[in-house]
Structure 1
Amino acid sequence: MNDESGVERPKIGRREAQRQATEEAILTAAETVFAEAGYGGATMQLIADLAGLPKANLHYYFATKEALYRAVVERIFEIWLRAADTMDGAADPAQGIGAYIDAKMEISRRHPNGSKVWASEVMHGAPVIQDYLETTLRNWTAGRVKVIERWIAEGKMAPMNPEHLLYMLWATTQHYADFNHQIETLNGGKPLTRAQWAAAKASVKELILRGIGVA
């Protein structure tokens, strides 16, 4: 079985599979509740009800609301991190950045609530995950900057500020999750179809790759 980044997962036993399935149900329910109610308005009871579990079972996996909230924001970020692995081994920006855009757009399609929770956390000054931003995010960004700088030095893309390119990539791809209600409203009140998502991916890739001087 492959995860969202295309990496094959090792086989696991039935009990571990059940544990993972329950934890996944909790995190998915928590994403929805935190996205809709915010951290202050969310309760463990609301999350347990949405996950279809007794509240005691929820506390078995996550002792506190803060621990569950942190798990939600870390999960979406870890998914984003795996998506960026495509850049590290890519021969050129067309391949690396193109695949990164594809992966980030797919994550926005599949995890819009996780993206919204992350955005809200950061807009409020990251009271729970500031340490994560100062360590994991900072180190990750520095690594991707080096990749982009290498492509520029090799003449494979136009000279530019790597940080601002990354900010643009994040803003553009995550817009489809954070502002999906606005997009759906402009789409006649309907979610984007698979064909429309494919067209959006192609458009974003074309605009950004041309903008950085990649044919």
Structure 2
Amino acid sequence: MRIEPKMPGRQPRTRIQKKNTETILEAALEVFSQHGFRGATLDQIAKAAGLSKPNLLYYFPSKVAIHRALIDGLMKTWLDPLREMKADGDPVEEVIAYVLRKLEMAREFPRESRLFANEIVQGAPNIMDKIEGELKNLVEEKAAVIEGWIEQGKIAPCNPYHLIFSIWSTTQHYADFDAQIRGILHPEGDAHFEQARHHLETLFRRMLTP
């Protein structure tokens, strides 16, 4: 996942500045995903980026600014799969497609998922405005679409909000609790994701089919 940050203050103007900005964000993603916002330090990020702390602060004035840039870029990518759920598509297939897109994101972008999860576990101090704004609005929009499908008898009755929450929990689990899953299954590479794909598709298809 290529995070395109909304840069605070000074915009990078040269190739070197752009490269350093991307290096800092990549290093910060690794540090934040491991330690969370509270546990991460500027010294850790600078070391991971291979830069001095003063050099890092040239690009970002604080740990908050780095974290915010990551979250701003992440939110768009994270919400795109839900935005792709079309009201005029086949209802069951639209939901299943969303489930599988989210599962694939858990496989491809585990650090980004853990970055988001760590922020939520800590009470979302840096992104509550986005949760109560952009995310809430999108969930309400799609919940209304699902409710419409239910009223038309196109999918089995369910609570639209909790359906979405269930999709989040069952897919992102494979990123956020990766160590636990691997400790139990000892899979070869990512072989367990194909099993998860089959299981989740069967689970939600049976749940939603009228």
Q: TM-score scaled to structure 2, two decimals? A: 0.82
Q: Distance in 1 between matches of 2:148 and 2:16?
A: 44
The structure whose RCO (Cα within 8 Å, separation 6+) is larger is 2
Bigger mean CA offset, 177-186 vs 16-25: 16-25
Match of 1:133 among 131, 134, 145: 131
Match of 1:203 among 199, 202, 209: 199
AA aligned to 1:205 is: E
1:16 to partner: Cα distance: 8.1
1:32-71 matched pairs, under 5 angstroms: 32-71=30-69
* SS at 2:84 equivalent: helix
The question of whether the paired residues in 2 share the 8 Å contact of 1:87 and 1:147 is answered with no
Aligned-residue sequence identity (percent) comes to: 38
AA aligned to 1:213 is: T
1:94 to partner: Cα distance: 2.8
Q: Which residue of 1 aligns with 2:162?
A: 164
Match of 1:100 among 98, 101, 109: 98
Q: Distance in 1 between matches of 2:193 and 2:67?
A: 29
Q: Deviations over 1:21-61 (max 9, x none)?
A: 65444333212211222222312232132233444443343
Q: Which residue of 2 aligns with 1:173?
A: 171
1:207 to partner: Cα distance: 0.7
Q: How many residues align?
A: 200
AA aligned to 1:182 is: Q
AA aligned to 2:79 is: L
For structure 2, which runs of at least 5 residues remain unmatched after alignment? 3-12
Q: TM-score scaled to structure 1, two decimals? A: 0.80
1:184 to partner: Cα distance: 1.0
The question of whether the paired residues in 1 share the 8 Å contact of 2:37 and 2:118 is answered with no
* SS at 1:88 equivalent: coil
For structure 1, which runs of at least 5 residues remain unmatched after alignment? 5-14
AA aligned to 2:171 is: T
Q: Deviations over 1:88-124 (max 9, x none)?
A: 3551223211221121112111221222222222222
Q: Distance in 2 between matches of 1:116 and 1:155?
A: 37
AA aligned to 2:207 is: G
Q: Distance in 2 between matches of 1:144 and 1:16?
A: 41
Distance 1:150 1:19, change over 3 A: farther
Q: Distance in 2 between matches of 1:20 and 1:95?
A: 41
